Structure 1
């Protein structure tokens, strides 16, 4: 991402989150996300650069911390800039954390024209050892009734670009999907993923990856994006198989360019951009897709206790679903190619 300085005075409501808590902010450039956090989450990010640099490519870039108060706004961290936060904070999919402590991270959706975002919450056990008994009971109930228990992950939220005009919300999804007519998006809230059974979760991934349909260029994009997602999730899984940690309620965030025409333009631009061009620091190149691990409010290192099988199970289930979906898209893509060949041949023969 760009190394332009972060100006906390420009903070505003952030609108590209697929799931999460109230109170998420971004600067006017859109390059950073500022979100309420716990001290343990900051400690986890700080430990990455200090002791686990091999994990850094799989997490958003950590840029520091801020202390934000609506009554006495002030900032602490790498600069002494005073922060004034006014205006409404956009409601997302959870209650606002009761804290003034905020973490400053790279915005993973920056660099996309229309980012399609899928948040996968990992783990069958969703609480850490500090959780109160009533919280454990509530989260265990959610896990048992959703794919968190059966697959080790669930869809926590999605934002999928459909283009203009946005069709009406599908029947049966009124409580979990909202058509945002002004933006061209369908927004799938946390209830969408909670209602999916294990045998239905593929449908959620299909809704995400086929946001603009299954025509030739859409299938080509789906094929490329799924192959990239599969490789990245495998890499993340391998990296955390070699770590001794516990990451309750962490997520994998999948992002790709939702506007198929912008995707094609970006692909062409990236092909023509010289590798390591110095000018790239002045202006970030656009993106086609990204995969990162996020949400480490309940993450700790646990030497001697082995890898986090609770989270790894969800990663492996995600890998299997992505592989199945990629295989299906490959078949559709090649079938479409085969179907187009006789037409092209007949057109050629008729012109001779």
Structure 2
């Protein structure tokens, strides 16, 4: 969380998203993201803070809302402990016309990583809510039926991995699923990448995310640690939502870990030697994070029971993470014996 007041006039385009809509912004510290939202998403985050403390650790920290005026001449901040009301031109936003003035301000989950690797898992077999038009329902039902959304209750919606300097060129069929390899060495996969998998081979998408091609001893050890952490966090999220009466459409689980193997090792040493911080807001590097995101179509539904549509995807994700963890442990044992 930022220690200094947030200045809305410093907003710039956010570049670490694995999936989602255009128009996501960040401030110059990189500690927050500001994204267009619905009032329903604001209401959901406010209700979590007020009535669902067990969910708070599994969501990005909610820091309030911003109204960006249509002519981008001013901004207002409200409902926040640290955001200050401010005015300032926002012409740096590449001239993009925002579809809504309402924006939510959240903790940037990728802040604290040098090279964050990001995987977005969209939950649910039903991807539309009751307000969707018939043509949208039909289109999303087709997507669900043709992908792991229908068979497993989730699909890979986006992926962004750091390949480093001198990474090999992408070849073969995979090229059609690469949106770009940017100047910083990140490989950004398009939305069709996750749609190519079936229930039988989707584990390959997780392998491409967690396991580099070289699979050195250090990388296998990192993969084992990361997968064990991811598995525990996803199970914790599942257990919490099994006690809730909600309906989520389009929500995701976001997985992040440090993609630079040398930075990962360095961060482990720092965290092992860190003393309990007197200041809870002390910035420390991170190894991995798992959070639930995207609640534009989420509501509480008292009396309706848990949201099995989303929970099924959590269970499937946890099973695949467990299977890959077991495989990685076997590979690591073989490598250590070699």
TM-score (norm: length of structure 2): 0.95
- State the partner residue of 1:304: 303
Q: Secondary structure at the match of 1:103?
A: strand
1:83, distance to aligned residue in structure 2 (A): 4.3
CA RMSD of aligned residues (A): 1.7
TM alignment of 1:160-199, pairs within 5 A: 160-199=161-200
Distance in 2 between residues matched to 1:85 and 1:211, nearest whole Å:
39
TM alignment of 1:257-336, pairs within 5 A: 257-275=258-276, 277-278=277-278, 281=281, 283-336=282-335
1:181, distance to aligned residue in structure 2 (A): 4.5
Distance in 1 between residues matched to 2:229 and 2:147, nearest whole Å:
27
Q: 1:274 to 1:41 in 2, by over 3 A?
A: same
Task: Say yes or no: does 1:129 pair with 2:130.
Answer: yes
Task: Say yes or no: does 1:61 pair with 2:66.
Answer: no
Contact 1:70 1:86 in 2 (8 A): no
- State the partner residue of 2:43: 43
Contact 1:67 1:102 in 2 (8 A): yes
Unpaired segments of 5 or more residues in structure 1? 340-352
Q: 1:181 to 1:295 in 2, by over 3 A?
A: closer
Q: 1:90 to 1:139 in 2, by over 3 A?
A: farther
Task: Say yes or no: does 1:120 pair with 2:121.
Answer: yes
Unpaired segments of 5 or more residues in structure 2? none
- State the partner residue of 1:247: 248
Distance in 1 between residues matched to 2:74 and 2:136, nearest whole Å:
32
Q: 1:56 to 1:212 in 2, by over 3 A?
A: farther
Q: Secondary structure at the match of 1:278?
A: coil
Contact 2:74 2:86 in 1 (8 A): no
Distance in 1 between residues matched to 2:94 and 2:270, nearest whole Å:
35
Contact 1:211 1:258 in 2 (8 A): no
Return the index of the structure with the highest Cα Rg: 1
Runs of 4 or more, structure 1, over 6 Å off, are: none
Q: Comparing both structures, which one devotes a greater share of its residues to helix? A: 1
The 10-residue stretch of structure 1 (299-308 or 139-148) with the greater mean CA deviation from structure 2: 139-148
1:213, distance to aligned residue in structure 2 (A): 3.0
- State the partner residue of 2:7: 7
- State the partner residue of 2:91: 86
Contact 2:8 2:75 in 1 (8 A): no
- State the partner residue of 1:213: 214
- State the partner residue of 1:346: none
1:212, distance to aligned residue in structure 2 (A): 5.9
Q: 1:212 to 1:290 in 2, by over 3 A?
A: farther
The 10-residue stretch of structure 1 (13-22 or 173-182) with the greater mean CA deviation from structure 2: 173-182
User: CA offsets per residue over residues 39-85 of structure 1, 9 Å max, x none?
Assistant: 00000000001110110000000000001135143223143212432
Contact 2:64 2:77 in 1 (8 A): no
